[in-house]
Chain A
Amino acid sequence: MHRNNQVLRTDYEKCTGCRLCELVCAVKHDHVSNPTRSRIRVIKWEAEGIYVPLSCQQCEDAPCATACPAKALTRNADMGRVEVDYNKCIGCRTCVSVCPFGAMHFVAADRKVIKCDLCDGDPQCVRFCDTKAVKLVDAGDVSLQKGREAAKRLRAADKKASSLVA
């Protein structure tokens, strides 16, 4: 399997809000438990029971890379991800401002930005998520699930409509 062909896909309806992904991400990368060190974040609307996991989309034309004044962010096509070169990074946090997904984070304790690196191809968040709210899929297959769900709704609506005629 070519690593560059795989992307993270989140199905937020399946997210139970447990935040185990945040825990294992921080432990894997930084060897500590600390949600502000997680590259993946679960945004919650507790009063409605909605939880949305958000992570880096590894954009082809990444706004963070474009905006970075130190040219510290580049896309690694082989690994299918956008990477930070800490030798060049000046810690200005422009990337944090411009990322449309809020997926760039700044770790206050280390004074460094962090972002998802897909765990070099074996993302731990995917591994630990029981409901598969976050999955690793082939890039070309990202729309299959959505398509199937839309088709399901179409069938249900059709069935309902045809029962009125009959």
Chain B
Amino acid sequence: MAKHKQRPGPFDYARKLSMRTVFLLTAIFLYAPIIVLIIFSFNNSRRGGNVIWKGFTTKYYERAFNNDSLVEAFVNSLTIAVISTAFAVLLGALTAVVLWRFRFPLKPVYEGMVALPIVIPEICMGVSLAVFFSWAGMTLPPETPWPFNLTNIIIAHITFSFPFTAMVIRARLQNFNPEMAEAARDLGASEYEVFRDITLPFMVPGLVAGGLLAFTLSLDDFVITFFTSGPSTVTFPVKVYSMVRFSVTPEINAASTILILMTLILTFIAIRLQKIEDATT
């Protein structure tokens, strides 16, 4: 029997050379810069640190950890991200439920107003928030104790991330079958019990996704933070920016690598949590 060479079918993506090439190029395009950043964080060279490989070292990690102002900026960023995410998810969830559950006059206007910050240029948001804070007399004195000196940045971060969480949670609720709520009512549940036992568990993937989005948005925001931070409060992106103005040292590579690692771990945990949630409840 003659052997036929099997031609790849339309769904055998991985067997087509063209497809493999596209896949490879995409991967390189997306990840090469990050990999370069990580590799050179171990480079034993102070000057021109990201060009010539001079041998392996971990001393820049040490140096990053011992750089008090960098650590302080890092802790500030995490604090801001955690607090603003919590508020953004809460506000976003409430907004999403209101938009999904109720009908009221001028609802389309309200819906548009919630979504508008997503498309407003960040620079405008930053300037307007800075102007607003000074107009409202909300400029914090430099001696404000931590973490209250972060209040303005946190408020700003909630402002720009809550529309995203609202959108994500709203999209999740769109798939909610209203008959499920009615079924729970029919089985004896009060409105509150329906929300607690049926609607809220259904929202969880949206809450987690919205939360992750808000967290990452907050963690790496530069523009708005730059306008709303006082002289004594520095976040990680702002600090990195000020350090880069002199030169990109491997120290910055090291700090960035840690940030990437943390984000990866957080995402991984979130995915695991969701899987456990799916499997047990």
Q: Do A and B come together as binding partners? A: no
Residues of A within 8 A of B (CB): none
Residues of B within 8 A of A (CB): none
